[in-house]
Structure formats: C-alpha cells, structure tokens
Amino acid sequence: MKPVPTLAIVGGTGALGTGLAMRWAAAGYPVILGSRSREKAEEAARAIEPRNGAPAVRGEDNASAASAGDIVVIAVPWSNHDAMLEEIKPHVVGKIVVDAVVPLVPPKVSLVQLPPQGSAAQIAQARLGDVARVVSAFHNVAAAKLQSGGDIDCDVLVFGNDRAARDAVITLADAAGTRGIDGGAIANSVVSEALTSVLIHINRRYKVAGAGIRITGISSASRA
C-alpha cells in the first residue's frame, strides 16, 4: 500500500486550518500544524485526536511545518498571503501547495473584491513559479462544518495546472468528508474565490450557517 502523504497546514491554528486538520487526522493522515508561534501550534495540535493509525498531530512554526510536509496547505487570512508565500518558498520545492486563501477585504466581505492579478491562487503560482505545483481548493466549505465532525453536504472545487496534483487534492477533499470536483486550470480559481463572498451574503440573507455548493449530474462512476 502506498504511504499517505504528510500534510502541513501553515496558518493552521485558524478555524479552517484546524477544521481540515481534524478531518485529515481522523482519516489517518499525518498532520503538522504551522503557526507563527510554535507554542500556539503545539497547543492546537494537542487538541486534535488522530485515528486510523495516524500519528499524533504535530505543531511547528510555519517554515518548519512547510519543510516537513509532503503537501503544504496555506490557510492564512488574505492579509498574510504574500508574506506566507515568501516564507515557505524555500521549503516547498517540488511539492504540491494547496492555496485555500480567499481575497476577502473587510469590512465588505460579502462583496467580491478579487485582486488585479485575478485570484489568490494565480498570485501563489506566479510567486512560487516552477518551484511548486499550486492547487486551489477548500474555499467554499465552512470551517465550522469541518470542525463539527458530522457529514458535510458540500462539494469542493479543485483547480491547478497539473492534473496529477489536482487528483491528489481531490483525494484529500474526499478524505475531509466533502466531494472533490476537478475545476480545471488555476485561472478558473477566480470562480471559487469569488463565490465565497456570495456564500457569505447567502448566509446572512437566509440566516443559515455555512451554505455550500453542489455540482449536479456527476455520478460516482464518472469521478473514477
């Protein structure tokens, strides 16, 4: 059996990072939480229970987490995105980097405000260049639902210029209790990143917690 990759989540002590860590640790993946403070990461890691033979979740500073992970997930606020890319760049050579960052600009987070470059994922691919294979995912699944431990009625759109890298992240989306859907090239990530603001508006308008999306017409057989 092929060994599962070690997953490093930089900015991993936030709501999305800890939600993903809980899901993946429960699914048997080795997980490393990264933070600016190693102590904060270690404290958050101790609160997550691994299952299915996974080792205990580790806490490290962001650079150390990125260095130790086979796949690196960026789960920081938009305001920290550029700085995080620069910090991890030396540590992600040849790796898949999953950018889960959404360009939300307070206070109007329910208004789509994409950057001039197109999307956070396109910025990440440009900054990292050929160093890493950037994949964009996990923008439209509510962190609270990931942390709940229950079933998640939500699809995750996955974008990237490397199909094998997209497939690897689709597997991770499935392991997190969602359904990963191949959305094509990294340029298409603008759709998913913009949709987050729309979902925030929907949550407020209809007084729901964590509205998500479903792509219809795709059977289990067609995803094989």
Per-residue confidence (pLDDT) for residue 11, from 0 to 100: 95
Q: What is the arrangement of strands in the sheet containing 133-136, beginning at the earlier edge strand?
A: 58-61, 31-35, 7-10, 71-74, 96-99, 133-136, 155-160, 179-184
Domain of residue 146, CATH code: 3.40.50.720
CB 160 within 8 A of CB 97: no
How far are the Cα atoms of 49, 62, 72, 95 from residue 169, in angstroms, in the given order?
22, 20, 11, 12
Per-residue confidence (pLDDT) for residue 1, from 0 to 100: 59
Range of the domain at 151: 7-223
- Regarding pTM above 0.75, the answer is yes
**In which region does residue 141 sit, left (phi positive, over 0), alpha (psi from -120 to 50) or beta (all else)?**
beta
Per-residue confidence (pLDDT) for residue 219, from 0 to 100: 84
User: What residues of the chain score a pLDDT lower than 70?
Assistant: 1-2, 224
* Residue 27 domain flag: yes
Number of structural domains (the chain) is: 1
Per-residue confidence (pLDDT) for residue 172, from 0 to 100: 98
* Residue 38 domain flag: yes
* Residue 147 domain flag: yes
* Residue 1 domain flag: no
Beta bridge partners of 10: 74
Per-residue confidence (pLDDT) for residue 25, from 0 to 100: 96
Per-residue confidence (pLDDT) for residue 180, from 0 to 100: 97
* Residue 2 domain flag: no
